[in-house]
């Protein structure tokens, strides 16, 4: 059974820092992986979807990479802003499994 | 529609009552998923529908939970004889096809008192 883990569970950084969020999975035979953002009391907003044939995807200040052989994906956020404060979740779509999320706080 | 629509957005029910939660996926999306998110927890997979195939019910926590999808579109999640531990946000997502990216609805917050 696919297990998805996100470390750390919470992260606090000052505004302007570049940061990396980690997502690991136990079964490397995945089809794709998706990163989401969840604001308190809200639903999930899709950020990036990486197909297994790709190594990375970029959208604005966000860059997600995928290394199937090591069972890892990272979400890189450049020049963080207070508006980036939210919980970030990764999901192995082909297995319908989510990580528990990393709660990010960006301090002004 | 333009997005995934869920109703109601909030539901308060008494313990022991039955509830129905509705999900209207994006038009043309063949795959539909239900998840549950308890307070401070991650997403727990409940059930998956793909086209006219038999649904994957492997995540349903008990036989009090059931779901159907009519005409390959709207889905209803039914919880019978609700318990306090059923209190959670129930999230629905749809995708164009299996293994395509998910689009989520805003969820239904269920409170059992």
> What are the tens digits of pLDDT across the range A25-46?
999 888 899 999 999 888 899 9
Shortest Cα distance from B44 to chain A (angstroms)? 8
> What are the tens digits of pLDDT across the range B26-40?
999 999 999 999 987
Overall size of chain A counted in residues:
108
The pLDDT of residue A102 is 97
- What phi and psi values does residue B45 have, to the nearest 5 degrees? -65, 135
- Distance (Å, whole) CA B82 – CA B17: 6
Overall size of chain B counted in residues:
113
Residue A44 and residue B42: Cβ atoms within 8 Å? Answer: no
> What are the tens digits of pLDDT across the range A59-73?
999 999 999 999 999
Mean pLDDT across chain B: 94
- Taking the Cβ of residue A103 and every Cβ of chain B, the question of whether any pair is shorter than 8 Å is answered with no
Mean pLDDT of B76-87: 98
The pLDDT of residue B2 is 80
Pick the closest to residue B42 from A94, A22, A98 (CA basis): A98
Contact B42, A99 (CB under 8 A): yes
Residue A91 and residue B102: Cβ atoms within 8 Å? Answer: yes
Shortest Cα distance from A50 to chain B (angstroms)? 9
> What are the tens digits of pLDDT across the range A68-92?
999 999 999 999 999 999 999 999 9
The band of A93, judged by pLDDT with boundaries at 50, 70 and 90, is very high
Which one is predicted more confidently, B1 or B18?
B18
Residue A43 and residue B104: Cβ atoms within 8 Å? Answer: yes
The CA distances from residue B86 to A38, B93, B102, in Å, are 21, 19, 24
Contact B78, B67 (CB under 8 A): yes
């Amino acid at each position: 059974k696919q297990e998805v883990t996100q470390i750390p569970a919470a992260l606090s950084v000052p505004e302007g820092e570049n940061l990396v969020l980690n997502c690991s999975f136990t079964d490397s035979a995945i089809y794709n992986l998706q990163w989401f953002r969840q604001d308190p009391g809200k639903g999930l907003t899709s950020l990036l979807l990486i197909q297994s044939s790709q190594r990375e995807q970029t959208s604005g200040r966000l860059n997600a990479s995928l290394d199937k052989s090591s069972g890892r994906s990272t979400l890189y956020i450049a020049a963080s802003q207070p508006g980036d404060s939210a919980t970030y979740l990764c999901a192995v779509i082909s297995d319908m499994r989510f990580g528990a999320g990393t709660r990010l706080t960006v301090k002004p | 529609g333009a997005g995934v629509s869920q109703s109601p957005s909030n539901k308060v029910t008494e313990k022991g009552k039955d509830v129905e939660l509705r999900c209207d996926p994006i038009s043309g999306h063949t795959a539909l998923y239900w998840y549950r998110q308890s307070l401070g927890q991650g997403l727990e997979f409940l059930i998956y529908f793909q086209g006219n195939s038999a649904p994957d019910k492997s995540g349903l926590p008990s036989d009090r939970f059931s779901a159907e999808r009519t005409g390959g579109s709207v889905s209803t999640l039914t919880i019978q004889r609700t318990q306090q531990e059923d209190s959670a946000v129930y999230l629905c997502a749809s995708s164009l096809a299996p293994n395509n990216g998910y689009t989520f609805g805003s969820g239904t917050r269920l409170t059992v008192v």
